[in-house]
Amino acid sequence: MPRVRVTRRVHFAAAHRLGVAEWSEERNAEVFGDCSNPLGHGHNYEMEVTVAGEVDPETGFVVDLKRLRDLVQARVVDDVDHRNLNVEVPWLEGVNPTTENLVVAIWERLEDRLPPGVRLDRIVLRETPRNHVEYTGG
């Protein structure tokens, strides 16, 4: 059976502040610049979640896209949309919410939740139209 990649794109808005808790304000300001503004700032995140699997000969699907949409919504978007990532998301507790750390945490929220035979292939997380990270696990 042919293996195909399927991508679902989602959006969320969130606030954060970058910094290392153990560091001084001065060092955080030096390393993270405006991103360590004590009162935070926001981003309109765009995320692409790609899964891969064999095309089911009956349905013609790799995965039911409604099921993928609902999974990403329930496991990620509902928790982070219009939230402060530093203080309101239990699974980001103690995490410096850089885009890199976020994409890894999001991966862990999704990877074991996919239907049998479907695996998480790649997540692209866009913090601004000019900056994005991608993660393929491991």
- Residues binding Ni ion (CB under 5 A): 35
Residue nearest to Ni ion (CB): 35
Q: Identify which of residues 22 and 34 has a Cβ nearer to Ni ion in the complex.
A: 34
CB proximity list for 6: less than 8 A, separation 6 or greater: 50, 51, 52, 53, 62, 63, 65, 68
User: Is 46 annotated in the active site?
Assistant: no
Rounded to the nearest whole angstrom, what is the least distance from the CB of residue 16 to Ni ion in the complex?
6
Rounded to the nearest whole angstrom, what is the least distance from the CB of residue 15 to Ni ion in the complex?
9
Q: What is the 3-state secondary structure (H, E, C) of 106-121?
A: HHHHHCCCCCCCCEEE
Q: Which of 11, 25, 41, 82 is catalytic?
A: 82
User: Is 35 annotated in the active site?
Assistant: yes
User: Is 16 annotated in the active site?
Assistant: no
Question: How many Å apart are CA 69 and CA 12, to the nearest integer?
Answer: 13
Catalytic residues, by residue number, are: 35, 82, 127
